[in-house]
Chain A
Amino acid sequence: SQQGEEDPQALSIQEGENATMNCSYKTSINNLQWYRQNSGRGLVHLILIRSNEREKHSGRLRVTLDTSKKSSSLLITASRAADTASYFCATVGSSNTGKLIFGQGTTLQVKP
């Protein structure tokens, strides 16, 4: 079963705009990770945020984590057509066994 939900399920924006995706989860976590998937192929790791962190940046990516609300958001700034993909959040439980539990994903389309 999935850990939580992602919102929105689909997002369409113009190149240069910012894209924000949200993820909610149900149980206590050790960390939360965001992945990108192009055309139903392998997943690419984007960023990991630990339960004691509130915000993390990597290039054009900004991730926030609110453990009190059991939610996270991924912001992609100045989006490009190449950012078109599905984005998944995945959590690792507080026992930190390495098992990833994924959300349903957000499909992002960036129009040139």
Chain B
Amino acid sequence: QQQVKQSPQSLIVQKGGISIINCAYENTAFDYFPWYQQFPGKGPALLIAIRPDVSEKKEGRFTISFNKSAKQFSLHIMDSQPGDSATYFCAARRGSTLGRLYFGRGTQLTVWP
């Protein structure tokens, strides 16, 4: 059973546009929600992360919106650039389960000029 459900599977956005990727979870014990970016042939790299005590976190062009009651969180990429083209994974972790991250299935983002 997929602990974290991610959509869409693929996304095509024009340069300068907003990319939005959504994730949902069921386990209310999750208390850490990171987003990872992965380029072909590379390992995932942490992009931004949030804890459930805040509803939004912004770092540069990247923003996480978190809705605790709906058990949903999303990644917004503002002013999307061709260099943002990659696969994005949301993930979640329970504080009681040291280290184990549950990943979504990923969203392949293509930003075309």
Please determine whether chains A and B interact with each other in the same assembly: no
Instruction: Report which A residues bind B (CB closer than 8 A).
Output: none
